[in-house]
């Protein structure tokens, strides 16, 4: 409420209200300030409240913003006043049943007629006339909505209800409409509109709720705060309540709760103070702060070349509208108030604010020089609402009852005066430096974070590079170390080599120095000799001492003599024992000698007996194939007695002993021994024992070492007997048997010796495994040498050997383990075979025929056989051979071999 103190603004304001000449006052002038119904000032046809609203809306934001920039004084805006009639309540319906209402409304004319008496009425015109049927919605739209919109646009606004208690002030302003939303009052609807308009992110809605009672301002949201002081800013004239609770409202529900809470606190406070709400004023203050989006501030001097930096540094433009909703205490006359129990003074105090408000409005309406704003807290609080910069809308509430006509008339007059109050609406627009600071703080925080992030990344990068460098360094160090190690090893090697060379050189030098040293040695030796001399001197001295000792010892020795004599006696006896042992051994040797002689003699006797049996010496037994069979026949021929005698001898003397006699000094003993061994070897049961005891080896040695042909003959016979066993054959071969036998043959004069040798080789020829070795060591050649002697017994053994060989070879060829020509042909045996194939001696013929048949089995031998004349022999064998199997074999061979068939053809043999 502007004071009448003559400041410029109020002056302007007052001027604008002065007289009826100015356009604005002409337009907005209250249409009726008098009670003359005949001359009502019905000039304004449009709704004063909505008209003002639309005017504000039209000018907003451009024209008002521009206006604010040009003229800080603002635009004129008269206080708008609406009258609302409460319907008759139940009590009135009964009590006033016979009376007419004291008011009559003409809403379309915006007029109210107040009945003076039965025949006279006063007519008043208001900005809006709301009948008892007006809905809460309509009341809101007409009375409050323009003010709320102004607040949203950055203007202060006041909505106030004035009237007698019970006429519907609270109904109009404060109904929550919980039971029926249609009943919602102005406060609730205003907040709905505000919340719908603001953006929660950038705008804010803060609410405080207060009660003024007996000049004490109480915080309804913080009831302990019961004496809030009013602070007026001298420069702007704005009032603020720093002690009041401010609650930020984000949704309607919390606002409703806040109102309920406030109402509850109001009720509690009134109970405590023993008063009632009709005696107190309720003030709801809503601070709406909105950030102006996308618009340069009205005060900006920016020429449009601003950079984005400049833009970001520009503080946001905010508009701060404050809506004040005032539910005034009941306006009933002071003199009536005594009835409620308060003293007159109390009543005065209670209504002080209200009467001060009336006085101020009167002063403003009358353009009085002094407006007593400071008389009460209410007028101080509402200084901006009346005569200030706010858009103010007043609703006066009246009841219909004629009983309260006086109060109704007084209310109407209050409204009429208020309509004359002219405000200067002013946009509350300013730069929001705080939020700029906040924004810059946030931006700074962001930049710091970004910087820290980059710093961190930089550090990480540095670390990475450092690590990489470290790796490279260590790798280089490793490489360096490797290279150094290699170099070191190389130098070490070189060093070792040079050391070695130096050592060699040194050795050589050493050798050279050796000679010099020898001379030195001689010198040293001389010195040593001298030293020795000294030593011997010393020694002789020592010896003298020792002699002394010896003397003493000899005495001791004499004592021991007797003991020694006894000892020598013992020694003598021992010697005698030894001599006895020697004698025994000699005797044993003689015994064995005698035994061997006995053996020989018995052998001789055997032989003599055999010769006698056979009818005389020198007769060669015919038809015997091998010495074995001969020996066997000898054994067969001899009586059991002789056989038993050899066996007995063998048992008595022992094989080992007999074999040892093979190496005896005496040649006769050797001969006797070899004969015994040969006899034993003829017996198959002894062969194994002889070989195991080394007999075979001794016999072979005997062949090589002895010159005696008898020994050769007997040993070869024994070997031939042992050669019947396959294992022994291998042993004979491995101990150079072939060469020993062939050497023996080459020196032999006795055909019996050759017969034994040939028999031994013939046995070896029958071993499949030894074929190649036997031939390699000259076995076949030896046989062909042996035939030169011409003795039929010898030739028979040779033929047996060749047949044996041919048989084994044929078997090997058939099995595929041998290829190529027969080794017999290779070694030149074929002519002899062909030559003897038709021998008169049947053993020779039989073996050679067999050999030829074996050779003929293999085509590879055919050409040689044909050229050597074997074909004739084969033809003969196939026809004349007494053995049928050989005959058939020869025949089949001739018939199947292409070479032989061709040969036969060529020789014109009809076969
Ligand atoms: P005040 O606040 O002025 O003392 P209230 O708002 O408490 O008056 O109203 C008094 C009584 O009248 C209440 O019961 C209320 O419901 C009723 N009332 C007031 N105005 C109206 C109206 N326009 N329509 C119906 N009932 C009303
Ligand atoms: Mg009330």
| Same structural domain, 776 and 842 | no
Residue 512 falls inside a structural domain: no
Q: Which ligand is nearest to the CA of 395?
A: 1
| Same structural domain, 839 and 764 | no
Ligand 1 pocket check for 322: Cβ under 6 Å: no
Ligand 1 pocket check for 171: Cβ under 6 Å: yes
Tell me if 428 sits within 8 A of 321, measured CB to CB.
yes
Tell me if 695 sits within 8 A of 655, measured CB to CB.
yes
For residues 114 and 405, give the distance between their C-alpha atoms in angstroms, rounded to a whole number: 8
Residue 879 falls inside a structural domain: yes
Tokens in use for 638?
């001899």
Question: Is residue 24 over pLDDT 50?
Answer: no
Residue-level pLDDT at 781: 93
pLDDT tens-place string over residues 721-751: 999 989 999 999 999 999 999 999 988 889 9
Residue-level pLDDT at 637: 40
Q: In CATH, what number is assigned to the domain containing residue 748?
A: 1.25.10.10
Query: How far does residue 156's CA lie from ligand 2's centre (Å)?
Result: 24
Ligand 1 pocket check for 30: Cβ under 6 Å: no
Tokens in use for 308?
């984005």
Helix (H) or strand (E) holding 322: strand 317-327
Candidates 82, 86, 93, 396: which one to mutate for ligand 1, based on the most atoms within 8 Å of Cβ? 86
| Same structural domain, 827 and 768 | no
Residue bearing the CA closest to ligand 1, atom 16: 171
Which position has the higher pLDDT, 134 or 510?
Answer: 134
What total of structural domains would you count in the chain? 4
Residue bearing the CA closest to ligand 1, atom 1: 166
SS3 for 156? coil
Report in angstroms the alpha-carbon separations of 587 from 65, 555, 581, 582, 795: 166, 48, 10, 8, 49
* Atom number of ligand 1 nearest to Cα 163: 3
Q: Which of the residue ranges 139-148, 175-184, 544-553, 770-779 would you say has the lowest mean pLDDT?
A: 544-553
Q: Which ligand is nearest to the CA of 171?
A: 1
Question: Is residue 487 over pLDDT 70?
Answer: yes
Residue-level pLDDT at 17: 29
Q: In CATH, what number is assigned to the domain containing residue 361?
A: 3.40.850.10
Average pLDDT score, the chain:
82
Residue 479 falls inside a structural domain: yes
Ligand 1 pocket check for 163: Cβ under 6 Å: yes
Tell me if 518 sits within 8 A of 510, measured CB to CB.
no
| Same structural domain, 174 and 275 | yes
Query: How far does residue 179's CA lie from ligand 1's centre (Å)?
Result: 15
| Same structural domain, 783 and 821 | no
pLDDT tens-place string over residues 266-322: 887 777 766 666 788 999 999 999 998 765 444 444 454 545 566 667 778 899 999
| H-state helical runs in 296-366 | 308-313, 344-350, 352-365
Q: Which of the residue ranges 146-150, 336-340, 485-489 would you say has the lowest mean pLDDT?
A: 336-340
Residue-level pLDDT at 427: 92
Domain of 200, in residue numbers: 134-293+314-335+342-398+417-431
Query: Partners of 112 in the beta sheet?
Result: 105, 124
Residue 117 has what DSSP assignment? E
CB under 5 Å of ion ligand 2: residues = 169-170
Query: How far does residue 111's CA lie from ligand 1's centre (Å)?
Result: 22
For residues 114 and 408, give the distance between their C-alpha atoms in angstroms, rounded to a whole number: 9
Which position has the higher pLDDT, 231 or 340?
Answer: 231
* Atom number of ligand 1 nearest to Cα 164: 3
Q: Is the dihedral of CA 644, 649, 655, 660 positive or negative?
A: negative
Picking from 159, 566, 610, 584, the residue whose alpha carbon sits closest to that of residue 391 is 159
Query: How far does residue 327's CA lie from ligand 2's centre (Å)?
Result: 7
Tokens in use for 124?
């008043």
| Same structural domain, 279 and 143 | yes
Q: Which ligand is nearest to the CA of 266?
A: 2
Question: Is residue 37 over pLDDT 50?
Answer: no
Residue-level pLDDT at 103: 93
Residue 862 falls inside a structural domain: yes
Q: Is 287 left (phi over 0), alpha (psi -120 to 50) or beta?
A: beta
Picking from 366, 380, 376, the residue whose alpha carbon sits closest to that of residue 422 is 366
Of 502, 534, 563, the residue that ends a domain is 502
Q: Quote the Cα angle for 158-246-145, to 5°.
A: 30
Task: Please compute the mean of the pLDDT values over residues 130-154 and round it to a whole number.
Answer: 97
pLDDT tens-place string over residues 553-573: 888 888 788 778 888 888 898
Task: Please compute the mean of the pLDDT values over residues 121-138 and round it to a whole number.
Answer: 96
Query: Partners of 232 in the beta sheet?
Result: 239
Tell me if 285 sits within 8 A of 243, measured CB to CB.
no
| Same structural domain, 819 and 778 | no
Task: Please compute the mean of the pLDDT values over residues 412-435 and round it to a whole number.
Answer: 91
Residue-level pLDDT at 312: 66
SS3 for 221? coil
Residue 887 falls inside a structural domain: yes
Residue bearing the CA closest to ligand 1, atom 5: 168
| Same structural domain, 781 and 678 | yes
For residues 324 and 156, give the distance between their C-alpha atoms in angstroms, rounded to a whole number: 8
Residue-level pLDDT at 717: 93
Query: How far does residue 109's CA lie from ligand 2's centre (Å)?
Result: 28
Burial zone of 911 (CB within 10 Å; 0-12 exposed, 13-18 middle, 19+ buried): middle
Give percent of the chain above pLDDT 90.
48
| Same structural domain, 224 and 261 | yes
For residues 46 and 107, give the distance between their C-alpha atoms in angstroms, rounded to a whole number: 13
| Same structural domain, 226 and 149 | yes
Confidence of residue 50 (pLDDT cuts 50, 70, 90): very low
Model-wide pTM > 0.75: no
| Same structural domain, 218 and 253 | yes
Contacts of residue 408, Cβ cutoff 8 Å, sequence gap at least 6: 102, 103, 114, 164, 398, 399
Residue-level pLDDT at 548: 85
Contacts of residue 305, Cβ cutoff 8 Å, sequence gap at least 6: none
* Cα-to-chain-centroid distance, residue 766: 78
pLDDT tens-place string over residues 583-628: 888 887 777 677 666 666 666 666 676 666 665 443 333 333 433 3
Tokens in use for 153?
């646009």
Query: How far does residue 788's CA lie from ligand 1's centre (Å)?
Result: 174
Question: Is residue 349 over pLDDT 60?
Answer: yes
Contacts of residue 870, Cβ cutoff 8 Å, sequence gap at least 6: 830, 833, 834, 837, 852, 855, 856
DSSP 514-555: HHHHHHHHHHHHHHHHHHHHHHHHHHHHHHHHHHHHHHHHHH
Q: What is the crossing angle of helices 709-722 and 751-765, to 10°?
A: 20
SS3 for 892? helix
Give the position of tokens 């950079």.
Answer: 307
pLDDT tens-place string over residues 698-719: 999 988 888 889 999 999 999 9
Task: Please compute the mean of the pLDDT values over residues 896-911 and round it to a whole number.
Answer: 84
Query: How far does residue 329's CA lie from ligand 1's centre (Å)?
Result: 14
* Atom number of ligand 1 nearest to Cα 165: 4
Ligand 1 pocket check for 87: Cβ under 6 Å: yes
Question: Is residue 419 over pLDDT 70?
Answer: yes
Is the omega angle on the peptide bond into residue 61 within 30 degrees of 0, that is, cis? yes
Residue 232 falls inside a structural domain: yes
* Atom number of ligand 1 nearest to Cα 174: 6
For residues 314 and 431, give the distance between their C-alpha atoms in angstroms, rounded to a whole number: 9
Residue 167 annotated as lining a ligand binding site: yes
Of 789, 821, 855, the residue that ends a domain is 789
Residue 691 falls inside a structural domain: yes
Q: What is the crossing angle of helices 627-637 and 751-765, to 10°?
A: 110
Q: Is 495 left (phi over 0), alpha (psi -120 to 50) or beta?
A: alpha
| Same structural domain, 158 and 204 | yes
Contacts by 660-665, CB closer than 8 A, 24 or more apart:
661/592, 661/596, 662/695, 662/698, 662/699, 662/702, 663/698, 664/596
Cα Rg of the chain (Å, integer): 82
Residue 127 falls inside a structural domain: no
Confidence of residue 500 (pLDDT cuts 50, 70, 90): very high
Give percent of the chain above pLDDT 70.
81
Query: How far does residue 263's CA lie from ligand 2's centre (Å)?
Result: 11
Which position has the higher pLDDT, 804 or 344?
Answer: 804
How many helices (H) does the chain have, and how many strands (E)? 36, 17
Question: Is residue 631 over pLDDT 90?
Answer: no
Q: Which ligand is nearest to the CA of 331?
A: 1
């Amino acid at each position: 409420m502007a004071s009448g103190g003559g400041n410029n603004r109020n002056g302007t304001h007052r001027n604008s209200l002065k007289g009826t000449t100015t356009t604005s006052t002409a337009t907005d002038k209250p249409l009726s300030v008098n009670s003359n119904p005949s001359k009502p000032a019905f000039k304004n046809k449009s709704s004063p409240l909505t008209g003002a609203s639309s005017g504000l809306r039209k000018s907003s934001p451009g024209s008002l913003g521009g206006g604010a920039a040009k003229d800080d004084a603002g635009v004129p805006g008269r206080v708008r006043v609406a009258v609302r009639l409460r319907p008759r309540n139940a009590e009135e319906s009964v009590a006033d049943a016979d009376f007419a209402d004291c008011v009559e409304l003409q809403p379309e004319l915006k007029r109210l007629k107040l009945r003076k008496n039965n025949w006279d009425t006063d007519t008043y015109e208001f900005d809006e006339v709301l009948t008892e049927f007006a809905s809460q919605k309509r009341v809101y739209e007409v009375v409050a909505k323009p003010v709320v919109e102004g607040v949203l646009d950055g203007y202060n606004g006041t909505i106030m209800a004035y009237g007698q208690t019970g006429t519907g002030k609270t109904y109009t302003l404060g109904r929550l409409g919980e039971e029926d939303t249609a009943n919602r009052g102005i406060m609730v609807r205003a907040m709905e509109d505000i919340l719908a308009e603001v953006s929660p992110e950038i705008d804010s809605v803060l609410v405080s709720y207060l009660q003024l009672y007996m000049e004490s301002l109480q915080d309804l949201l913080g009831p302990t705060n019961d004496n809030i002081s009013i602070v007026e800013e001298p420069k702007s004239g704005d009032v603020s309540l720093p002690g009041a609770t401010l609650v930020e409202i984000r949704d309607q529900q919390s606002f409703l709760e806040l109102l309920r809470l406030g109402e509850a606190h109001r009720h509690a406070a009134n109970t405590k103070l023993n008063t009632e709400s009709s005696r107190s004023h309720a003030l709801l203050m809503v601070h709406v702060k909105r950030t102006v989006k996308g618009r340069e501030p009205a005060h900006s001097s920016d020429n449009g070349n601003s950079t984005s930096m400049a833009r970001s540094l520009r503080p946001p433009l905010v508009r701060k509208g404050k809506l004040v909703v005032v539910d005034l205490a009941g306006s009933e006359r002071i003199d009536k108030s005594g009835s409620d129990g308060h003293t007159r003074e109390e009543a005065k105090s209670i209504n002080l604010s209200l009467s001060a408000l009336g006085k101020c409005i009167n002063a403003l309406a009358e353009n009085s020089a002094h407006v007593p704003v400071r008389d009460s807290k209410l007028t101080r609080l509402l200084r901006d609402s009346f005569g200030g910069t706010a858009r103010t809308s007043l609703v006066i509430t009246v009841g219909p009852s004629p009983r309260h006509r006086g109060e109704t008339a007084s209310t109407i007059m209050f409204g009429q005066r208020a309509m004359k109050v002219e405000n200067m609406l002013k946009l509350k627009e300013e730069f929001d430096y705080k939020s700029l600071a906040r924004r810059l703080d946030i931006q700074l925080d962001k930049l710091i974070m970004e910087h820290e992030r980059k710093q961190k990344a930089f550090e990480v990068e540095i670390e990475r590079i450092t690590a990489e460098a470290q790796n490279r360094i260590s790798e280089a160090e490793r490489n360096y170390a490797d290279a150094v190690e290699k170099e070191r090893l190389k130098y070490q090697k070189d060093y070792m080599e040079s050391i070695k060379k130096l050592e060699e050189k040194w050795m050589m030098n050493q050798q050279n120095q050796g000679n010099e040293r020898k001379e030195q040695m001689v010198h040293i030796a001389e010195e040593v000799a001298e030293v020795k001399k000294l030593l011997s001197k010393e020694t002789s001295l020592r010896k003298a001492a020792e002699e002394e000792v010896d003397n003493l010892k000899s005495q001791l020795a004499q004592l021991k003599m007797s003991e020694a004599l006894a000892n020598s006696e013992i020694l003598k006896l021992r010697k005698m024992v030894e001599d006895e042992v020697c004698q025994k051994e000699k005797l044993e040797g003689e015994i064995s000698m005698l035994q061997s002689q006995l053996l020989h003699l018995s052998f001789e006797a055997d032989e003599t007996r055999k010769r006698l049996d056979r009818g005389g010496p020198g007769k060669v037994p015919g038809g015997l194939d091998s010495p074995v069979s001969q020996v066997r026949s000898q054994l067969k021929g001899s009586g059991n007695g002789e056989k038993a005698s050899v066996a007995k001898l063998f048992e008595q003397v022992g094989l080992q002993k007999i074999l040892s006699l093979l190496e005896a000094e005496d040649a006769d003993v050797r001969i006797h021994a070899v004969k015994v061994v040969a006899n034993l070897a003829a017996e198959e049961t002894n062969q194994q024992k002889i070989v195991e005891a080394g007999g075979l080896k001794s016999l072979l040695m005997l062949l090589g070492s002895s010159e005696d042909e008898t020994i050769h003959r007997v040993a070869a016979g024994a070997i031939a007997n042992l050669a019947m066993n396959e294992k022994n054959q291998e042993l004979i071969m491995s101990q150079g048997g072939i060469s020993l036998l062939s050497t023996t043959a080459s020196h032999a004069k006795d055909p019996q010796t050759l017969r034994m040798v040939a028999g031994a080789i013939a046995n070896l020829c029958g071993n499949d495994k030894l074929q190649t070795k036997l031939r390699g060591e000259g076995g076949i050649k030896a046989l062909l040498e042996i035939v030169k002697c011409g003795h039929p017994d010898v030739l028979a053994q040779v033929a047996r050997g060749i047949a044996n060989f041919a048989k084994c070879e044929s078997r090997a060829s058939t099995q595929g383990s041998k290829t190529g020509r027969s080794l017999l042909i290779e070694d030149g045996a074929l002519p002899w075979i062909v030559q003897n194939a038709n021998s008169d001696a049947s053993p020779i013929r039989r073996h050679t025929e067999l050999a030829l048949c074996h050779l003929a089995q293999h085509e590879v031998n055919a050409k040689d056989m044909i050229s050597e004349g074997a074909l004739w022999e084969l033809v003969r064998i196939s026809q004349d051979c007494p053995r049928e199997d050989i005959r058939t074999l020869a025949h089949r061979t001739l018939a199947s071999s292409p070479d032989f068939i061709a040969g036969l053809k060529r020789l014109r043999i009809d076969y």
